[in-house]
Structure 1
Amino acid sequence: MPEMISSLAHRVARRRREPVAVQALRSTAAAVISYVVALRLSNEPSPLTAPLTALLVVQVTLYSTLTTSIRRVNSVVVGVLIAIGFSALVGLTWWSLGLLILASLAVGHLVRVDEFVPEVAISAMLVLGVTQVADTAWDRVLETVIGAVIGLLVNLLVAPPLWVGPAGAAITDLARRMGRLLDHLGEEPLGPAKVEQAAARLHEARRLDNDIAQVDAALRQAEDSLRLNPRVREGLLFRLVLRTGLDTLEICAVVLRVACRTLTDLAKARPDRPLFDAATAAALREVLRHTAVAVESFAQLITAQVTANAEEAEARLTAELAVARDHRDRLAELLRTSAHEEPAQWQFHGALLTEIDRVLDELGVDKRSQRLLEELDHHTRTHRPVGLRERLTGRRRRNPQA
């Protein structure tokens, strides 16, 4: 019994630290506090605009909260001003309602409130639909400002959760699925249904595109959570490591899809014979097996938060790539021999070797370091402020006589 209680307490404590649970508590607190403040400052008996604004403003990251607050307040103020103008000119009729919605949506795009364009029309309709437009209009603006301010204060006082963990888990899961695909490619399809089996693996490779899109969304959320977060000292490095790592996996996924197409075409060209002889099939299976382990080790390397884990993952990645390259060389010799016996298949064999080489090259530690350094250099050059010397140099280029 004590062990069960201890296990339950451990699970509850772990859930409380999860980003979803932390975000739910922060959003609830911001909504309740904004409602209490609005009850004291607004003339509305039920100022629900304030907690609604707080829920929308308190996003999952501080960076998103700051940018969202400005856009949301702008959308409400613009909608209120449009409603005041319509109420003074035409009032509420079916045709004025249509004009109001059309004008609000158009103005919302002009003021660039992005996802809050419908909020402009909603605010205008709610204000126009009441009797005393002016009082209700400014009460709605006040409630919106209260909700936005409370949301900002909650994010400043209670640090937003970091979404690096979920993004890392998504990258690891993507690498695991790519590893399974590589293992499946190493299995020799047998019988009359081998073309269908090869086509099924091609569809499996195509599904990786959707997986990459989901991982990219999780990574964007993690990148936003690292911006302006007081708990993170090296947020830029974390963002670039994860982003360049996902770029590498995306390139590998594309190459794997091409490899699946190559094997499918080879299966169609050899409907009554095996794709490879026994020795070649065994060498290919070993190459793909070690490449699968290398893909998973690469994911562990870019998501490792502890130096010891990163060093262990890098050592494992280097070892697996070395073994995979050895088997790749053995595979190349066997394919070269078979190409002399069956010259018609040399294009498929050469394409397959090229695709294997590309995956192994992309997973290399040196290639990863080079790509990371390039991204760091690009970020430094892009965000570096222009100094006096550079300004003077640019001025001289524009005016050679100066």
Structure 2
Amino acid sequence: MTDLGTGWVRRAIRRELRYVRGQFAGLAERDSHQRFEARQIAKATLAAALAWFLADRFLPHETVWIAPATAVIMVHATVYQTLTNGVRRVSAVAVGVILAGSVGYVLGLNALSLILVVPPALIAARWRRMGRHGSDVATTAVLMLSFGAASQERYLLAYVAATGVGAVVGGSINAVLWPPLYRRRPQDAVRRLSSEAAALLKDLADGLREQGDLSDLPDWQRHADRLDTHLARATSAIADSAESRRFNLRRRIVEPELRDHTPLLAAMGRIGVHLHGIVRALGHVAQRQKQHDDDAPPWISDDFAHDYADLLERLAEALATQLRPSDEAVQMSALIEAALERAEAIQEKMTEEVSAGRLDQPRGWAASGSLLTDAERILSVLSTLQAESERPPAADADPVTGPAGVR
């Protein structure tokens, strides 16, 4: 093996070792993802063993295997998913058994029986109420025909019963023993999104402060693209948190996360759009500058780049402060006010330069205006968010689910 190949293997091994160490370290943290996964694994194991015991005691031996298999599948990430998917799986299996039994009892296994069973099974599988368990209709029907069990009424009934036993056992264990309740996931996801956006603003500020250095533009573009991924994860985390409270016995016992992250998530979505706009404008500037001689004046003046970098840095600080405790609201207001003053100063300076005809590079004025506009819109979003956070909640509002009657 070459030195290059050996180095790659060593790096891969080190990455995997770091991952394993991180997983074990997470087990020591309260409410960590690793602890959650460990509990779910333990619950699935217990559900499989209990389902096998019950099926082995009360059902024919040849159908026992389906009970623990179904029980493991039913230990979902939320109690709501467990209940709804349990009903769907049992229903799908029952429909498949009915199709196979009604045709197989008369025709047995042959090409004609498959022609008669597969199309209606696939049509039933596409019913939206079946969800992801719709495929179980077709697979169950074909398996019953293939095993020659479609004509054995006792086996078909036992197969459905074993599926029901597994679903009930798996669903009961997941609903009673540490039912999943995501309290920290929305906050962590939104915090990561906000931190990534603040970090991008800081990187942009650092680059522009160095005489408008755009050499890190590819990294900024990748960073902006990652924001979309973080936004999707945060959206999913908030939806999962809301779903985890449905039919959950712990929702009345465990103190809920009082902060509603939905307004901040919506604000971050708008901020992400304007961050993409800033990066695209800088990409346009970099492309245009490459097409002209090195001796030509820069499209963005050094004064504008320096002032704009200060504005972006203030926006980054304000964004990083957004998720901190409420006692720092005064600091947040001060940061927004400072950013607003800087934006107004830049706008006044640009207006004076245009009026006096003192633009070093007139073709870059549009790009500078675009950059300033996106920064001002980010500032507007933060200002609105700050004003909403200082507004007292309605008297009839639930801190988690919103106004009374809304869930």
Match of 2:10 in 1: none
**What is the CA-CA distance between 1:23 and the residue it aligns to?**
1.9
What SS is found at the alignment partner of 1:354? helix
**What is the CA-CA distance between 1:166 and the residue it aligns to?**
3.2
Mapped pair 1:332 → 2:347: yes
**What is the CA-CA distance between 1:218 and the residue it aligns to?**
2.9
Match of 2:321 in 1: 297
Match of 1:281 in 2: 305
Q: 1:335 to 1:187 in 2, by over 3 A?
A: farther
Match of 2:199 in 1: 180
Equivalent residue for 1:162, pick from 181, 187, 191: 181
What SS is found at the alignment partner of 2:251? coil
Q: 1:91 to 1:276 in 2, by over 3 A?
A: same
- Relative to the length of structure 1, the TM-score reads 0.78
**What is the CA-CA distance between 1:190 and the residue it aligns to?**
10
Post-superposition Cα deviations, 1:70-112, rounded to whole Å, max 9, x if no partner, equal 1111111111111111212322124533543332111122372
Post-superposition Cα deviations, 1:196-226, rounded to whole Å, max 9, x if no partner, equal 6435523432332233223323332222112
What SS is found at the alignment partner of 1:241? coil
Match of 2:387 in 1: 366
User: Any conservation in 2 of the 1:39–1:45 contact (CA below 8 Å)?
Assistant: no
User: Any conservation in 2 of the 1:189–1:197 contact (CA below 8 Å)?
Assistant: no
Mapped pair 1:72 → 2:89: yes
Q: Distance in 2 between matches of 1:16 and 1:356?
A: 37
Name structure 1 gaps, 5 residues minimum.
1-8, 302-309, 385-402
Q: Distance in 2 between matches of 1:70 and 1:317?
A: 49
User: Any conservation in 1 of the 2:75–2:82 contact (CA below 8 Å)?
Assistant: yes
User: Any conservation in 1 of the 2:208–2:305 contact (CA below 8 Å)?
Assistant: no
Match of 2:337 in 1: 322
**Superposition RMSD in Å:** 3.5
Post-superposition Cα deviations, 1:356-389, rounded to whole Å, max 9, x if no partner, equal 121122123114577x98xx799759859xxxxx
Match of 1:204 in 2: 223
What SS is found at the alignment partner of 1:160? coil
Q: 1:11 to 1:352 in 2, by over 3 A?
A: closer
Mapped pair 1:22 → 2:42: no
Mapped pair 1:112 → 2:133: no
**What is the CA-CA distance between 1:164 and the residue it aligns to?**
3.1
Mapped pair 1:36 → 2:50: no
Q: Which amino acid aligns with 1:297?
A: T
What SS is found at the alignment partner of 1:159? coil
User: Any conservation in 2 of the 1:44–1:139 contact (CA below 8 Å)?
Assistant: no
Return the structure number with greater helix share.
1
Q: Which amino acid aligns with 2:309?
A: R
Identity %: 25
**What is the CA-CA distance between 1:47 and the residue it aligns to?**
1.3
**What is the CA-CA distance between 1:143 and the residue it aligns to?**
0.9
- Relative to the length of structure 2, the TM-score reads 0.77
Match of 2:107 in 1: 90
Q: Distance in 2 between matches of 1:209 and 1:360?
A: 20
Post-superposition Cα deviations, 1:229-273, rounded to whole Å, max 9, x if no partner, equal 333359998598223322211111111101111222233444543
